[in-house]
Amino acid sequence: MAMTGVLRPGHAQIRVLDLEEGVRHYRDILGLVETGRDAQGRVYFKCWDERDHNSFILRQADCAGLDFFGFKVLDTATLNKLDADLQAYGVKTERIPAGDMLETGERVRFEIPSGHLIELYAEKTSVGNGCGLVNPVAWTADSERGIAPVRLDHALLYGPNVAAVQKLFTEVLGFYLVERVLTPDGAGNVAIWLSCGHKVHDIAFAEYPEPGKLHHCSFLLETWEEVLRAGDIMSVNKTPVDIGPTRHGVTRGCTIYAWDPSGNRFETFMGGYQPYPDYKEALTWTFDNFGQGLDYPQRKLHETFLTVVS
Ligand code: M3P
Ligand code: FE
């Protein structure tokens, strides 16, 4: 198999101010599938076409934001190797036992220089997508319920030390830089988009003084019409929309940014191009074209993009 190492974003745990209000949003409007609740009161969801038990977890807390973002790796040997590589690089890691999250194996957790907690894990119970494995059906009720994204696609995280984060993800975790926005003087990056496979990005970071902030978790749709349908569903449900429907210049993905009831931004996203790890030259946006990178048709650096995080 050509794909090894870190495979993909696997889970995000986010904080909501009111659990049942959050459940109603993510289950009924976004259309995620609720797969369980644990003794800590956390609620587990998956997107309909994901096979693993969970990808998105809600925890009730006094402030919104991201608890941690996890990546699935190929197997246990890979998990152990990446743990050793992180430690050799000088990153302190913590082992969280299997079963701490429902249907999820042992996790390796570490803090990155932007102040975010990142996790790696190799095992999560496959519960299937409801289509079956023999002569699979191509449609289920869950594939039409609410916005109904197919998977958790990526996250954009805000915090300090983006250069050190880039170094860690590229030198230890096997990611490569797909796109970047330069600082005004062109000497560094204010934002970076990183891939571990041939998706246009699996995680992105933007420079921000406060550590550990969430800009958005993004959910994948398959067509532009589905993004427009997501906009209709948001309007009907009075979901506050931030930007879109529009297209990013960066990644060329089509998008809507909107907020959940606790003020966590989420994105419904489709498209973009498919890079490969031999794309040695990252696409580069100069700071004066940041607005075009964010919103290609309007070429507008929306104020909320820079200032509203959770
Ligand atoms: C994305 C995304 C800017 C933002 C791009 C965002 C400033 O590509 O996936 O959310 O270019
Ligand atoms: Fe995004």
Active site residues: 154, 201, 216, 248, 257, 267
Does the C-beta of 156 come closer than 6 Å to ligand 1?
Answer: yes
Does the C-beta of 247 come closer than 6 Å to ligand 1?
Answer: no
Q: Do domains 6-127 and 151-307 have the same CATH topology?
A: yes
| Average pLDDT, rounded, for the chain | 97
Does the C-beta of 122 come closer than 6 Å to ligand 1?
Answer: no
Query: Looking at the predicted structure, is the pLDDT value of residue 157 above 90?
Result: yes
Question: Domain map of the chain by residue range?
Answer: 6-127, 151-307
Query: Looking at the predicted structure, is the pLDDT value of residue 1 above 70?
Result: no
The rounded percent of the chain whose pLDDT value lies above 70 is: 100
Return the CATH class of domain 151-307.
alpha beta
Ligand 1 atom closest to the CA of 301, numbered from 1: 7
97 Cα–ligand 2 center, Å: 31
Ligand closest to Cα of 251 equals 1
Does the C-beta of 50 come closer than 6 Å to ligand 1?
Answer: no
The span from the CA of 208 to the CA of 309, in Å, is 10
Tally the C-alpha atoms within 13 A of residue 94's C-alpha that lie toward its C-beta.
8
Two structure tokens written together for 19: 């659990």
Fold of 6-127: 2,3-Dihydroxybiphenyl 1,2-Dioxygenase; domain 1 (3.10.180)
Amino acid, res. 40: Q
Tell me, what's the ipTM?
0.95
Spell out the residues 6+ positions from residue 242 whose beta carbon is closer than 8 angstroms to its own. Answer: 257, 258, 259, 265, 302, 304, 305, 308
The rounded percent of the chain whose pLDDT value lies above 90 is: 97
* CA nearest to 68, candidates 47, 86, 48, 42: 42
Classify residue 148 by its DSSP letter. Answer: -
Report how far apart the first and last C-alpha atoms of the chain are (Å, whole number): 38
**How many helices, marked H, and strands, marked E, lie in the chain?**
6, 17
- Answer yes or no: are the C-beta atoms of 264 and 219 closer than 8 Å: no
**Secondary structure of the chain: what % helix, strand, coil (to 5)?**
20, 35, 45
* Long-range CB contacts (within 8 A, 24+) of 235-242: 237/29, 239/25, 239/29, 242/302, 242/304, 242/305, 242/308
Ligand closest to Cα of 243 equals 1
pLDDT of residue 276: 87
The span from the CA of 169 to the CA of 201, in Å, is 12
Interval 136-161 mean pLDDT: 97
Tally the C-alpha atoms within 13 A of residue 99's C-alpha that lie toward its C-beta.
0
Query: Looking at the predicted structure, is the pLDDT value of residue 233 above 70?
Result: yes
